[in-house]
Amino acid sequence: MTDPRTRIVGEGYDAMGEHFAEWSDRIVGDPRRWWAEQLTSRLTDGARVLELGCGSGVPDTQLLAERFRVTGVDISPEQIRRARRSVPNAEFLVADFAAAEFDPGHFEAVAAFYSFNHVPRELLAGLFGRIRSWLVTDGLFLVALGTGDTEGWVGEWLGTTMFFSSFTPETNSRLLEDAGFELLLDEVVSFLEPEGEATFQWVLARR
């Protein structure tokens, strides 16, 4: 069942529509491409990739769908509508990925770009465990995690109401290891959003 805080997230991204993409275009120094390449360089063509919180599908779903069989998941019907238009060669689902279930051992990789800082943080431990179960043996998980010690924040963001939640990098790493992941790369990276510096923890982990 979808958590009411996650409903706030979905309604917020629905209301934002094109505005989120315009805001994203003004980010300077976003390391997402480098991290995506750390994942894609380790996968073979045709690998099954699940993307959690794919948004409008640009740029990451588009990049992944050039070589892989991609399933993108997002809670916002409006963002999924845009994604289906921009990336016709991927499959998309409107769903809460924190409540979704997939077949065990079904994906060679799971990727999440800037979506996990919207997940109520007490759900992360269980979610990491389920993601690991969806992966094949040696499957990969790439994720950009929030870094603040924030149980929950609701407020105005990009002209709408939004929810954020996160643990510190030390806790994030421990939860991933407790779920059984081996951390191949684990770095805290800052860059410039239009309003100022933003910091995320990027992790590439192996089942």
Ligand X SMILES: C[S@@+](CC[C@H](N)C(=O)[O-])C[C@H]1O[C@@H](n2cnc3c(N)ncnc32)[C@H](O)[C@@H]1O
Per CB under 6 A, residues contacting ligand X are 6, 9-10, 13, 24, 53-55, 60, 73-76, 79, 96-98, 113-115, 118-119
Query: To which residue do tokens 């769908």 refer?
Result: 65
15/85 Cα distance (integer angstroms)? 18
Give me the least distance between CB of 139 and ligand X, in Å please: 20
Beta carbon nearer to ligand X, 79 or 166: 79
Beta carbon nearer to ligand X, 64 or 140: 64
Token digits for 206?
């192996």
Give me the least distance between CB of 109 and ligand X, in Å please: 15
Residue among 97, 92, 90, 61 at smallest CA distance from 78: 92
Give me the least distance between CB of 137 and ligand X, in Å please: 26
Give me the least distance between CB of 18 and ligand X, in Å please: 13
Alpha-carbon 202 to chain mean position: 11
Residue among 115, 106, 96, 121 at smallest CA distance from 56: 115
Beta carbon nearer to ligand X, 6 or 40: 6
